[in-house]
Amino acid sequence: MQFKRTKRNVNGVLLLDKPIGFSSNQALQKAKWLYQAAKAGHTGTLDPLATGLLPLCFGEATKFAHYLTDADKTYVATLKLGITTNTGDAEGEILERREVNVSRAQFEIACQLFLGEINQVPPMYSALKHEGKAMYEYARAGIEIERKSRLITIYRITVESFEQDVAVISVTCSKGTYIRTLAEDIGKELDCGAHLIGLRRIATANYKIAQTVTLEQLEAMTPEQREAALMSEDSTVLHLPVVILDDDSTFYLQQGQAVWKSGLVPQGLLRLYTEQQVFLGLGELAMDGKIAPKRLIRQMEN
């Protein structure tokens, strides 16, 4: 008879260094099991081939997970020039081999062509849905589905190293960017082809890879150490302006009522705190000048 673990109300953000070979969901389920957490979700898929920063939101933090899914991200990518594959990465079948006669200067010029807002066509081997099925399912069946290009932004590309037919670049980009596709497009621009042989996410929003823990480290921790490894729920929304509410306003806000705040209140979404610096959630300045509750967290009793 298998022992069933009791689920716990765990709240916060775990910055996981996802290992190679794990899907984002597999990594999530492993961490969720270690925490015995009742509720958890990840914030942007990393392919099994990729490693690096994968923020996992537990409990009340899941209410703000979309801010991390939508956030800008930074990757370190390793490109193999001269070879194209059907998946755009090292897991695929080789389609073509071509001679590589590219200098570092030529490679750097090609990279700069993709800076700014560009239209990118998502790859067939992706988790994007078409009529309820993931694109990769069609791709594996040999079916090509027309994909619409979408506008993304590449903020920065830095060439970290370049040696004959292998280049390492760091890329800061908007949500929805496929680094595999970027690698292929750079290869096309150089007329030699390319595919991705390594990918590591090193930043998401205000989170950095240096803050992460591995699954092995998590397994070795005591329950108290695991709790201490969690970031606070409000770490997901540090880009929003702060408003402090007095005790009366806090009470009425938590009853679902809009509240007054004296002084100049910023437009848009707001991070709301009590005078004791307890995070309440998000509010928004309404047309009548009051702060309306938008997404509040459930306060845990001590």
| Residues catalogued as catalytic | 47
| Buried/exposed 67-105: b ≥16 CB within 10 Å, e otherwise | bbbebebbbbbbbbbbbbbbbbbbebeeeeeeebebeee
What's the CA gap between 58 and 74, in Å, rounded? 23
Q: Which residue in 186, 121, 184, 120 sits closest to 157, CA to CA?
A: 186
**Are 217 and 15 spatial neighbours (Cβ–Cβ below 8 Å)?**
no
Contacts of 201 (CB under 8 A, 6+ apart): 46, 50, 51, 52, 53, 54, 73, 74, 75, 209
Residue 257 to residue 271: CA distance in whole angstroms: 16
HSE, CB side, 13 Å, CA atoms: give it for residue 246: 5
CA distances to 2, 53, 264, 267 from 66, in Å: 36, 16, 28, 20
Rounded Cα distance between 67 and 237, Å, is 7
CA 77 – CA 86 distance, rounded (Å): 18
Which residues have C-beta within 8 Å of that of residue 167, sequence separation ≥ 6? 78, 79, 81, 107, 159, 161
